[in-house]
Amino acid sequence: MALTSGCAREAKFVPDEMAAIEATPQQQEQIAEVLTAWFGTPDAPKLPPGETGLDMAKLQLAAGPVISNTPGVTHGLYRRHCARCHGVTGDGAGPTARFQAPYPRDFRAGVFKFKSTYRGAPPTDADLRHTLANGLAGSSMPSFALLADEELDALVEYTKYLAIRGQFERRLARFVTEEFELDEVLSLDNADTSVELREDLLAPIIAAWRSAPEQVIPVPTKPDLTQRETIAAGEALYHGPRANCAKCHGQLDPGAPIPSELSPDDYDDWNLARRDFQNETARAAERLRNELARVTNRIDSEHPLAIQTAVVKRREKIASQLLPPRKNHPRALAETALRAGAKPEDLFRRIHQGIAGAAMPSYGAPAPGGVAVLSDDEIWQLVAYVRDVVGANTQSAKRTADVTE
């Protein structure tokens, strides 16, 4: 039996149930069918229509079960190295995710915190590669620097594939929920729908990924960051009213409130979505109970309350399986290892654009031509001060500095 059926179960992508909760059960199945038609399965990925820029050979090296038939060549790299935390679907909910703080990244929003591009743009290949090679200090993300170059390339490509697939799934779920009639069928056999999906939903996602290299924040020439005057100017900005970093990151004096006390209720976008879903589920359940209590006659399956009961039951099941929402506090900076390192260029961009998906806002122009709250020189001054505070020049920080620096 085991010989004929193989030892591994066929891997499946998990649907984004939270995104599609208001779609009808039929529409949810139709969404899954479109995704399979365009993106394939974890064992057999497909490229969606259009010029995706994704390399199928790389995807095939990363996809599927772990197999090695030729010495030195391993297939199924994603499942070997990533899926336990990030999940087969890239939903950040692999079997070990629950035990990690912060949780592994859910790729399906297409949002990555540590990157070189404008806040709204996806990361470049080099950005993803940098995170893979260096890991993220203070999180469970390790360094994969020991993998071969072509293996890292394959994982970067597969991460992009999962992100694009997830982004498309969410937009499709939103599109079907908000734009379709309740009884409307989603099918790629409908030529108009197919064009709409390709041009309005998929194409902008792919275009954004393909143009990411043009969205890199230019970093001007770096001044001497160890100069006392530069550090002092950064300190003044940190505590002053304009940058006012202290408002969230704290005064940094011994005894002063720490970030988790200053912002006790901060969530990043991923945790906020789960918290809102759970709150909304509790509200819907409460409202339903009150409405049912007032009903005296029998209700049939087409009755609004019967439909609402089914939705609430689905919601409660999903909500109970979600990773519990966790707070994300601003970084306590003193003598700490910053997640993505303290390399001056990276810190410059992190202050310039903030951290996508998190509470940290942009201090530079949010888009080319926009208003910059801080000038480039001022951002450098802050970089100098932050590097001084985290102890980037001391021995302990050298251990956590970028291995590629």
Interacting residues toward another protein by CB under 8 A: 22, 110-111, 119-121, 171, 174-175, 177-179, 182, 196, 204-205, 208, 241-244, 247-248, 263, 265-266, 269, 280, 283, 286-287, 290-291, 304, 307-308, 354, 356, 359-363, 366-367, 370-371, 373
CB of 253 to another protein, least distance (A): 16
Which of residues 42 and 330 has its CB atom nearest to another protein in the complex? 330
The amino acid at 381: Q
Which of residues 43 and 184 has its CB atom nearest to another protein in the complex? 184
Which of residues 120 and 213 has its CB atom nearest to another protein in the complex? 120
CB of 371 to another protein, least distance (A): 5
Which of residues 111 and 155 has its CB atom nearest to another protein in the complex? 111
SS3 assignment, position 280: helix
Which of residues 24 and 131 has its CB atom nearest to another protein in the complex? 24
CB of 404 to another protein, least distance (A): 28
Provide the residue count of the chain: 405
3-state per-residue secondary structure call for 180-235 = CCCCCCCCCCCHHHHHHHHHHHHHHHHHHHHCHHHHECCCCCCCCCCCHHHHHHHH
Partner residues linked to 67 by β-bridges? 75
Rounded CA-CA distance 38/48 in Å is 5
CB of 359 to another protein, least distance (A): 4
Q: Are 268 and 330 in contact (CB under 8 A)?
A: no
The helix or strand, by DSSP H or E, that contains position 260, with its residue range, turns out to be: helix 259-262
Rg of the chain (C-alpha set): 24
Q: Are 351 and 379 in contact (CB under 8 A)?
A: yes
CB under 8 Å to 276, separation ≥6 — which residues? Answer: none
Helical residues (DSSP H) of 56-179, grouped into ranges: 56-62, 77-81, 83-86, 125-134, 149-179
CB of 391 to another protein, least distance (A): 26
Beta strands 73-75; 67-70: pairing state: antiparallel
Which of residues 27 and 400 has its CB atom nearest to another protein in the complex? 27
CB of 273 to another protein, least distance (A): 9
**Tokens representing residue 273 in the block:** 């979505």
Which of residues 78 and 270 has its CB atom nearest to another protein in the complex? 270
Which of residues 207 and 403 has its CB atom nearest to another protein in the complex? 207
Which of residues 121 and 136 has its CB atom nearest to another protein in the complex? 121
CB of 303 to another protein, least distance (A): 11
Rounded CA-CA distance 153/159 in Å is 10
The amino acid at 267: Y
* The residue to which tokens 């530069």 are assigned: 230
CB of 190 to another protein, least distance (A): 13
CB of 178 to another protein, least distance (A): 4
Rounded CA-CA distance 392/137 in Å is 13
The amino acid at 352: H
